[in-house]
Amino acid sequence: MRLMLAPMEGVIDHTMRELLSSLGGVDRCVTEFVRVSERLLPPRVFYRLCPELHTEGRTASGVPVYLQLLGGQPQVLAENAARAAELGAPGVDLNFGCPAKTVNRSDGGSIILRQPERVHALVAAVRGAVPEGVPVTVKIRLGYEEHSRFLETVAGIEAAGATELTIHARTKKHGYRPPAYWEQIARAREVVSLPIIANGEIWSPADALRCQRVTGCSDLMLGRGALCRPDLARLVRAAVDEKQLEPLCWDAIPPLLLQFFELNLAHYDAGHAGNPLKQWLVYLRSYYPQAAALFESVKRLRKPEDIAVVLQQAVEHSAARRQAA
């Protein structure tokens, strides 16, 4: 079994990848998408979204990071994929799953699933441009408004030479509303031998085991669930191996929040470094009720030093509780 950390635009950037991969259990990360439209992009664009290129395409804990591209023109997509490989990306991922209206209106993401032949042409162009030893992976949904051409799309991706395929088990129209239609992934596995990674609605180890059972996939991709439960990858791995592992309690979370805030301070403008922290607290509060109170304490704060004081106090209170326990 392998566990992948999903690409989530504006949420799982390199700072979040560094933090979550450091907790263990993650076998691969994928960047936020690099938008490709009409030209070959300069190296700085790739380095900005994937600073791990400076460290052989790996996070600080050694987890490989594939660079994701999004676009609808075969030649320019292929040229940028070749550049990503030249810069040291350990793999190139193609995004045909993004449901955002702004992306779809500009001929990117899930709207291309309306035309399986275009998906095939784009994957084939990238595969032909990237060195044989560099994996070309693809991420899709079941379709755009419906899934009548889903299996045709999957077969075309395999025929185009993709290395692996990740399937988010919903259409664009479904958005992120539950349920995820895992049984459709099982159908895909019946028509191709291409390795498939299942994605969607995996919030707990029990969900992961059920997803594996329904889809027949051993490999999974974790997204929002890993933000709500930072140790989800480790817990899933333990469950699959039938081992007992104690989940992170709330008192283990404030030190991670402080670490994450410091990572953002080191890489982003000080005036905006608190925004990713606040966003993460919104996710965390769905699993840790205590995160709601901490979010209220920081949500109106702008100065980094004020946010740091609140986080440091939370760390100290957590340490005192653990010592007293």
The average pLDDT across 35-60 equals: 97
pLDDT at 83 (0 to 100): 98
Query: Is residue 205 over pLDDT 80?
Result: yes
pLDDT at 325 (0 to 100): 72
pLDDT at 323 (0 to 100): 87
User: Can you tell me the distance from the alpha carbon of 272 to that of 184, in angstroms, rounded to the nearest whole number?
Assistant: 41
The average pLDDT across 87-116 equals: 95
- Is 249 known to be catalytic? no
Categorize the per-residue pLDDT at 310 as very low, low, confident or very high, splitting at 50, 70 and 90: very high
Single out the catalytic residue among 98, 211, 217, 228. Answer: 98
Categorize the per-residue pLDDT at 322 as very low, low, confident or very high, splitting at 50, 70 and 90: confident
- Rounded to the nearest integer, the mean pLDDT of the chain is 97
Packing angle, helices 150-159 and 182-191, rounded to 10: 50
The average pLDDT across 195-215 equals: 98
| Token pair recorded at residue 218 | 């051993």
pLDDT-wise least confident of 45-54, 104-113, 193-202, 206-215: 104-113
pLDDT in tens, 173-182: 999 999 999 9
Half-sphere exposure of 274 (CA within 13 A, CB side): 18
User: Can you tell me the distance from the alpha carbon of 228 to that of 114, in angstroms, rounded to the nearest whole number?
Assistant: 32
pLDDT at 281 (0 to 100): 98
Categorize the per-residue pLDDT at 320 as very low, low, confident or very high, splitting at 50, 70 and 90: very high
User: Can you tell me the distance from the alpha carbon of 222 to that of 236, in angstroms, rounded to the nearest whole number?
Assistant: 10
The angle at the Cα of 233, spanning 231 to 239, to the nearest 5 degrees, equals 105
Q: Report all structural domains of the chain as residue ranges with CATH numbers, in order of start.
A: 3-240 (3.20.20.70), 250-324 (1.20.225)
pLDDT at 200 (0 to 100): 98
pLDDT in tens, 259-308: 999 999 999 998 899 999 999 999 999 999 999 999 999 999 999 999 99
- Report the Cα 22 to chain-centroid distance in Å: 15
Q: Are 92 and 130 in contact (CB under 8 A)?
A: yes
Cα distances (Å, whole numbers) of residue 70 to 196, 204, 239: 20, 29, 34
Query: Is residue 324 over pLDDT 90?
Result: no
pLDDT at 318 (0 to 100): 94
pLDDT at 240 (0 to 100): 97
The average pLDDT across 63-85 equals: 98
Query: Is residue 41 over pLDDT 90?
Result: yes
The alpha-helical segments, DSSP class H, found in 29-180 are: 43-49, 74-86, 101-105, 116-129, 150-159
User: Can you tell me the distance from the alpha carbon of 8 to that of 98, in angstroms, rounded to the nearest whole number?
Assistant: 9
**Which letter does DSSP use for residue 55 in this model?**
G
Q: Is 275 helix (H, G, I), strand (E, B) or coil?
A: helix
Q: Are 64 and 90 in contact (CB under 8 A)?
A: yes
The average pLDDT across 205-222 equals: 98
Task: State the sign of the Cα–Cα–Cα–Cα dihedral 185, 163, 73, 90.
Answer: positive
